[in-house]
Structure 1
Amino acid sequence: MPPFLAWFAAPFSADFVLRALLGGALVAVICAVVGTWVIIRGMAFLGEAIGHGMLPGVAVATVTGAPAVLGAAASAIAMSAAIGALQRRGRLTYDTSIGLLFVGMLSLGVIIVSHSRSFATDATTILFGDILAIGGGDILLLAVAAVVTIALAAVFHRSFVAAAFDRRIAQALGLRPQLAQIVLTGLVTLAVVASYQAVGSLLVVGLLLGPAVAARTWTTRIAPTMLLAAACGTAAVVAGLLVSWHAGTAAGASIACCAILLTAISAVVRGGIRRARHGAGHTPPVAALR
């Protein structure tokens, strides 16, 4: 076997790395679908806030010995519900309510974790994930989450598109933009919780936004963006696992870093192509959301 192929294949000879790759690929699919809408709707701050808002639930689960994903889900759902409640009262703006809950939940999580005797180990797992520990049950849960995400995104596609343009038009067409917003917030929550074990609560936004931003550099249509984002996310998982194996770095952080690096490379390459076309006298097409 050529040296490069041997270098590439070495990590994936281990079963736990193969499980990490499969789990990471499922996470990439979930984040691609949801991340595309997060970018279109400008909801990046919500994704980051929910990612950090998981900390209290994960901390309680870690301290009590309960499954961390259950704690993450409970905490993320509680935060999403609190954001919705503050919005319905209408006394605070959307970003203000998210900011207050973000800081409050993060502070509570740090207090709970710091009270634990195994603070260092717990904090590392919570913040940066442990994708190499993914098992068969975790993969099954991720597969179910991916199916649910794709199904909801397909069912509410028209509502999401209409609400992205004008909520009043969506309401007039009977597309129920308020329900669409609730569903989209739920999908963001699901994506963040599903990504938790892969990259932890601190770096979850890297997988949620990075591949989708990279994909949007090349296409403006929604479905192709999601497909390309899934491919970019999977590529980031593969690259991150390779870096982690050969350089001895944290797998979750390596994956998140590769996702952001891929975004930067995509922007540079696309910019070079545009400059070359402009120099050759070609006019780039007008972007359109379809």
Structure 2
Amino acid sequence: MSRSYEFDNHSQKALGSLNVTLSLLAPFALEFVQRGMLGGALVAILCGVVGTWVVIRGMAFLGEALAHGMLPGVALATVLGLPVLVGGALSAVAMSVGIGALQRRAKLSYDTSIGLLFVSMLALGVIIISHSGSFATDATAILFGDILAITSADLVLLAAAAAIGLAVTCGFHRSFVALALDTRIATVLGLRPRLAQAALVGLVTLAVVASYQAVGSMLVVGLLLAPAVAAGHWTTRIPTRMLLACLFGIVAVFLGLVTSWFAATAAGASVAAAAIALTCLSWVVRAAVAGIRSTTHATTAPVSA
């Protein structure tokens, strides 16, 4: 009798777990959610790879500046009825070129060049928006993204962006490593540090533009940095860190979409919040594991007479 009761109890628990799993996966039966998940996963892969170098090189300010530097191009493209991603891409590229020009011609520091252009591009975007009476309806999507509005054509562009990002990262891997260690080392080894730096800025620009549709200009840095930071808690090897960052990003997209569906929250903001939450959870778990290991080591260590 007791065995039958235990069997029924385990069966009910298993069915309950299955029902919970099915309910979580229910939104993904819809085609637009599937496209959002696939597009978000492609963005997570690109941001995981590029974001690893952003964290290693301390380029978070550049990512933030480029995200806001897209605003004039996005605003102008919206007003003129042109593709928004094209306008944002041209604006971000113009800002990247401008940063390099200010460094070389005006002899300004890297941070100063970014800061000046960041404010200038943001001000220009606000001016364009303020002169357009019909722009307010698109402001939310520009700032916070609309991942559930990703189309099949967007998926093709995102796949191409991810492929280009992976190819450039693989091709410049040795140069990026040398650049992270010391510019002089890269020069001595003939790895052309200026070209490597330009390629890295180009990768950040590509990641920011590609992430625009998913999380918007305000939240893109969260998806670019958080998964890479979370991955850094578990490994110091760059390829492994990139892989883990991609996985953390994909999980963040899944959790964000599920949260958005059941809690009726903004999808892009939910994805960014999930990425930050996973980073915090990763740090807590890593600290707990380190504490357990140190306690175990102290307990098992031989006691000297």
Q: Same-fold call, TM > 0.5?
A: yes
Counterpart residue number, 2:52: 36
Q: Distance in 2 between matches of 1:35 and 1:107?
A: 27
Kindly indicate whether residue 248 of structure 2 is the aligned counterpart of residue 254 of structure 1. Answer: no
Kindly indicate whether residue 238 of structure 2 is the aligned counterpart of residue 215 of structure 1. Answer: no
Q: CA deviation at 1:172?
A: 0.8
Q: CA deviation at 1:90?
A: 5.1
Q: Distance in 1 between matches of 2:118 and 2:277?
A: 26
Kindly indicate whether residue 197 of structure 2 is the aligned counterpart of residue 181 of structure 1. Answer: yes
Q: Distance in 1 between matches of 2:132 and 2:294?
A: 59
Pick the aligned partner of 1:5 from 15, 21, 43.
21
Q: CA deviation at 1:230?
A: 0.4
Q: CA deviation at 1:178?
A: 0.6
Q: Distance in 1 between matches of 2:234 and 2:119?
A: 35
Q: Distance in 2 between matches of 1:255 and 1:83?
A: 30
Q: Any residues of structure 2 matched to 1:76-91 within 5 Å, and which?
A: 76-89=92-105, 91=107
The answer as to whether partners of 1:86 and 1:97 remain within 8 angstroms in 2 is yes
Q: Distance in 2 between matches of 1:267 and 1:77?
A: 35
Q: Distance in 2 between matches of 1:43 and 1:37?
A: 8
How does the TM-score come out when normalised to structure 2? 0.90
Q: Any residues of structure 2 matched to 1:14-163 within 5 Å, and which?
A: 14-89=30-105, 91-163=107-179
SS at match of 1:280: helix
Counterpart residue number, 1:167: 183
Q: CA deviation at 1:91?
A: 2.3
Q: Any residues of structure 2 matched to 1:185-264 within 5 Å, and which?
A: 185-264=201-280
Percent sequence identity is 65
How far does the alpha carbon of each residue in 1:68-105 deviate from its partner, in whole angstroms, 9 at most, with x for none?
10011000000000001011125211111101111111
Q: Distance in 2 between matches of 1:115 and 1:35?
A: 35
Pick the aligned partner of 1:278 from 267, 280, 294.
294
Q: Distance in 2 between matches of 1:19 and 1:84?
A: 37
Instruction: Extract unaligned runs of 5+ from structure 2.
Output: 1-14, 299-305
One-letter identity of the residue aligned with 2:280 = A
One-letter identity of the residue aligned with 2:91 = S
The answer as to whether partners of 1:113 and 1:122 remain within 8 angstroms in 2 is no
Q: CA deviation at 1:164?
A: 0.6
SS at match of 2:139: helix
Instruction: Extract unaligned runs of 5+ from structure 1.
Output: 283-290
One-letter identity of the residue aligned with 1:11 = P
Q: Distance in 2 between matches of 1:269 and 1:89?
A: 48
Q: Distance in 1 between matches of 2:51 and 2:106?
A: 27
- The runs of at least 4 aligned residues of structure 1 exceeding 4 Å deviation read none
Q: CA deviation at 1:33?
A: 0.7
Q: Distance in 1 between matches of 2:132 and 2:247?
A: 39
One-letter identity of the residue aligned with 1:251 = A
The answer as to whether partners of 1:11 and 1:17 remain within 8 angstroms in 2 is yes
**Of 69-78 and 89-98, the range deviating more from structure 2:** 89-98
Q: CA deviation at 1:251?
A: 0.5
SS at match of 1:281: helix
Q: CA deviation at 1:168?
A: 0.7
Q: Distance in 2 between matches of 1:113 and 1:256?
A: 25
Q: Distance in 2 between matches of 1:28 and 1:220?
A: 20
How does the TM-score come out when normalised to structure 1? 0.95
How many residues matched?
282
Q: Distance in 2 between matches of 1:224 and 1:186?
A: 23
The answer as to whether partners of 2:79 and 2:135 remain within 8 angstroms in 1 is no
Counterpart residue number, 1:285: none
Q: Distance in 2 between matches of 1:7 and 1:63?
A: 41
